[in-house]
A = this chain, B = another copy of it.
Amino acid sequence: MDIAVIGAGAMGSAIAMRLVENGAKVLTYLEGRSATTIDRAKSAGMEVVGLDAIAGAGLILSIVPPAAAIGVAEQIAAAVRRRGTKTTFMDCNAISPQTMVQVASIFASDCGVVLDGSIIGGPPKPGQKGPKLYVSGDAANSSAMLAERGLQVRRIDGPIGAASALKMCYAGINKGVTGLGTAMLLAAIRSGADEALKRELQESLPDLDAKFVQGIPDMYPKAYRWVAEMEEISDFLGEDDPAALIFKGMAGLYRKMADDREDGGVLAGQLDKLNNGG
């Protein structure tokens, strides 16, 4: 059975390569994509096809930026309806459970089965187990074929939305901690308290200090993507949860870091200087 992967970014192409290495035929659709993306897809062993062939795959994975998730679901659902066959569609994106329910309603039962997937960890690398693909709403164990083809799959005993919620919660902690460190180190730099703070962190919170030293520089090039992810987490928590505001603030912080990168990285330079010992 063929597998289709929509999205040949860093994650999508690496997942596809892992599947190909384990004997799968992996299709993708790249209409309107850049030459770089097309090259990346081909290097990963993906076969570039039209939408009708995608609709004919037994399992379709959507691995795209959160803001593109709904559009992909609409495009695939339309292609499946035109073709008149059924398939299984797994949204693997960092979207809220509410957005996932929307995806499921777009890809309704006349198109086949929808699964809620979410990916925790970085893209697969040679010799490493790679990220975990969490799946919920998978009563028929359709994800088994991915596990058989080299992916680390973990089924959650829960409905559509549970895997998305897991991703929101994990990202809220992981990227939230990086955001807290970024915000407070910048404030300490502004206030002349940076060296004392750095020393105090090294002494009393060494694990967090180590996470900042690695995680803050890793964040700069991703900050623009994390803005939408933080807004998605805020929506997930909902207006009744005071913590929703925390992630509105995180979105603003990451927007500031994305702008800083475009403007030459002045703030990033200050953070790096402090983290590398002044």
Chain A interfacial positions (CB closer than 8 Å to B): 97, 120-121, 132, 134, 154, 156, 158-159, 161-163, 165-166, 168-170, 172-174, 176-177, 179-181, 183-188, 191-193, 196-197, 200-201, 204-205, 207-208, 211, 236-237, 241-253, 255-256
Contacts and interface: CB of A to CB of B under 8 A. Distances in A.
17 contacts: A134-B196, A156-B192, A162-B192, A162-B196, A165-B191, A168-B184, A169-B187, A172-B180, A173-B181, A173-B184, A173-B205, A173-B208, A176-B180, A177-B208, A179-B246, A187-B237, A246-B246
B205 A193 contact: no
Contacts of A205: 173-174
A218 B223 CA distance: 33
Contacts of A236: 187
A200 to B, nearest CB: 6
B247 A249 contact: yes
Contacts of A180: 172-173, 176-177, 180, 246
Contacts of A162: 191-193, 196
Given A156-B196, A172-B183, A204-B120, A245 B237 contact: no
Contacts of A173: 180-181, 184, 201, 205, 208
A193 B169 contact: yes
Contacts of A172: 180, 183-184, 187
Nearest to A183: B243
